[in-house]
């Protein structure tokens, strides 16, 4: 029988340093380019592999336990739009725990993601997708954007592996960004104080940032509780009055934060619940899509912030769902939904801390108003100096990490800032 006492990771033992036993990795390893492996975890993995346990259910050791945990009734009261989504392929693999598929090699590696001191470390992975079909390699399109005439095709192949890993790292950092700066790639700092939903997400992000080996289960439970309460409350309002003018922007943004926390979690129950909650997120986002307006020349800061927040929330949700799908199963179909979207890629506009600061940039330019189907044309004036999170993520997935580093000018400070160097 294995000892119940959890020992220091191998890296800390070799360095003769104290290990805080943090999960998924200790704090010392999180700040260094070293792999954090616990002897007790390694032994557990070996035992699991000897039994051929590759599915999410078998990773728990007892499939019946997983069924009991995942079949708990959820208060998901869907409006007609959400019911229609139930018939879409977007939720085909997320509505039942029995449909959970074995993890791809890259997704298995993602479960070892470490979040500590604002950093996320990913191990090196093998090919995410292998195929015997020689025609697949001739049909590849970028993960996030590409030729709109081919937008119905799925994105596959290991050439997108590193790009998608990078996107996942940046998306996983959004809860940390929220508590550090008061905003994210899709939440504006002026909206947080006025929304209970965003304040709850802020509190959950703070708990997540303080997660350790001793409180991991409690934090996971609390994050799930807040997400479930949000979904139950909003869904009940929509169900009782489907024609109401309920503002779904803040609820969708809060749920996006919970998804960023849970989708890449090493906690199986968190991951499974997040997969099922993707249905709700997509239904809310589909309603937000109807509120997206074309770019305008008006110089009203408050109005611009709201419209840009809607654009960014819808786009980030699609990128997140596409990224997770690709990492889990080796392909995704997000491009068709992304192609009609747009956002403003000027950091000085999105990150302005005051009306005066925003107005100065609005007049000076460039605004960098980007339509996804015209990415190359609209990003001509973009530079590393005016880069912001969402634009960097999309550039990485579209052009690749080598091209992103070249565009950054190879400057060490920039590469570190954008997670391209340890």
Alpha-carbon gap, residue 420 to 382, rounded angstroms: 19
Average pLDDT over residues 248-264: 97
Average pLDDT over residues 323-334: 85
Q: Is residue 23 over pLDDT 90?
A: no
Q: Is residue 380 over pLDDT 90?
A: yes
With residues binned 3-state (H G I as helix, E B as strand, rest as coil), the percentages for the chain, rounded to 5, are 55, 5, 40
Mean of the per-residue pLDDT values for the chain? Answer: 76
E strands, 24-97, in order: none
Average pLDDT over residues 156-178: 89
Q: Are 136 and 157 in contact (CB under 8 A)?
A: yes
Alpha-carbon gap, residue 124 to 114, rounded angstroms: 13
Average pLDDT over residues 250-269: 96
For the residues of 214-234, what is the DSSP string, one character each? TTHHHHHHHHHHHHHHHHHHH
Q: Is residue 50 over pLDDT 50?
A: no
Q: Is residue 79 over pLDDT 70?
A: no
pLDDT confidence tier of residue 321, bands split at 50, 70 and 90: very high
DSSP-assigned beta bridge partners for residue 115: 120
Instruction: Calculate the CA 402 to chain-centre distance.
Output: 22
Average pLDDT over residues 186-210: 97
Q: Which residue has the tokens 């259910």?
A: 57
CB neighbour list of residue 242: distance below 8 Å, 6 or more residues apart: 79, 80
Which helix H or strand E contains 316, and what residues bound it? Answer: helix 301-329
Instruction: Give me the domains of the chain, ranges plus CATH numbers.
Output: 7-52 (4.10.240)
Q: Are 398 and 160 in contact (CB under 8 A)?
A: no
pLDDT of res. 5: 52
Alpha-carbon gap, residue 232 to 345, rounded angstroms: 34
Average pLDDT over residues 1-16: 70
E strands, 134-252, in order: 155-156
* SS3 at position 145: coil
CA atoms within 13 A on the CB side of 397: 33
Alpha-carbon gap, residue 48 to 150, rounded angstroms: 42
What pTM was estimated for this model as a whole? 0.68
Q: Are 151 and 339 in contact (CB under 8 A)?
A: yes
Q: Is residue 53 over pLDDT 50?
A: no
Q: How far apart, in Å, are the Cα atoms of 160 and each of 88, 140, 331, 338? A: 25, 10, 10, 17
What is the percent of the chain with per-residue pLDDT over 90, rounded to a whole number? Answer: 54
Q: Which residue has the tokens 């799930």?
A: 224
β-pairing, 114-116 with 119-121? antiparallel
Q: Is residue 279 over pLDDT 70?
A: yes
Cβ atoms < 10 Å from Cβ of 75: 11
* pLDDT one-digit tens code per residue, 136-163: 332 333 444 443 333 444 555 667 889 9
**In terms of Cα–Cα distance, which of 154, 59, 168 is closest to 106?**
168
């Amino acid at each position: 029988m294995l000892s119940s006492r959890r020992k220091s990771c191998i890296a800390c033992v070799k360095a003769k340093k104290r290990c805080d036993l943090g999960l998924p990795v200790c704090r010392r390893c999180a700040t260094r380019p070293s792999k954090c492996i616990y002897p007790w975890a390694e032994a557990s993995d070996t035992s699991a592999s000897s039994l051929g346990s590759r599915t999410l259910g078998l990773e728990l050791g007892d499939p019946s336990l997983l069924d009991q945990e995942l079949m708990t009734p959820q208060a998901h009261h869907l409006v007609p739009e959400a019911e229609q989504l139930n018939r879409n392929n977007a939720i085909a693999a997320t509505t039942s725990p029995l449909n959970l598929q074995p993890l791809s090699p890259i997704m298995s590696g993602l479960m070892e993601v470490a979040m500590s001191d604002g950093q996320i470390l990913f191990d090196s992975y093998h090919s995410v997708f292998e195929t015997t079909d020689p025609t697949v390699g001739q049909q590849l399109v970028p993960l996030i954007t590409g030729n709109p005439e081919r937008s119905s095709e799925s994105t596959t192949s290991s050439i997108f592996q590193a790009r998608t890993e990078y996107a996942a790292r940046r998306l996983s950092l959004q809860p940390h960004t929220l508590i550090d700066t008061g905003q994210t790639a899709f939440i504006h700092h002026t909206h947080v104080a006025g929304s209970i939903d965003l304040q709850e997400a802020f509190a959950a992000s703070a708990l997540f940032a303080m997660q350790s080996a001793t409180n991991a289960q409690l934090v996971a439970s609390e994050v799930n509780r807040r997400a479930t309460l949000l979904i139950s409350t909003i869904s009940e309002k929509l169900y009782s009055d489907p024609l109401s003018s309920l503002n779904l922007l803040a609820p969708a943004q809060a749920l996006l934060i919970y998804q960023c926390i849970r989708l890449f979690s090493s906690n199986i129950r968190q991951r499974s619940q997040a997969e099922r909650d993707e249905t709700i997120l997509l239904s809310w986002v589909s309603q937000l899509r109807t509120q997206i307006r074309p770019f305008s020349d008006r110089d009203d800061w408050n109005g611009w912030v709201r419209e840009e927040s809607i654009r960014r929330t819808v786009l980030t949700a699609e990128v997140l769902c596409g990224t997770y799908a690709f990492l889990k199963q080796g392909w995704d179909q997000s491009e068709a939904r992304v192609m009609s979207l747009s956002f403003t890629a000027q950091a000085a506009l999105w990150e302005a801390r005051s009306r005066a600061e925003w107005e100065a940039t609005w007049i000076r330019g460039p605004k960098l108003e980007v339509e996804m189907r015209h990415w190359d044309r609209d990003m001509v004036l973009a530079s590393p100096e005016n880069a912001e999170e969402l634009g960097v993520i999309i550039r990485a997935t579209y052009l690749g990490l080598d091209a992103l580093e070249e565009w950054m000018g190879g400057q060490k400070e920039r590469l570190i800032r954008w997670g391209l160097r340890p």
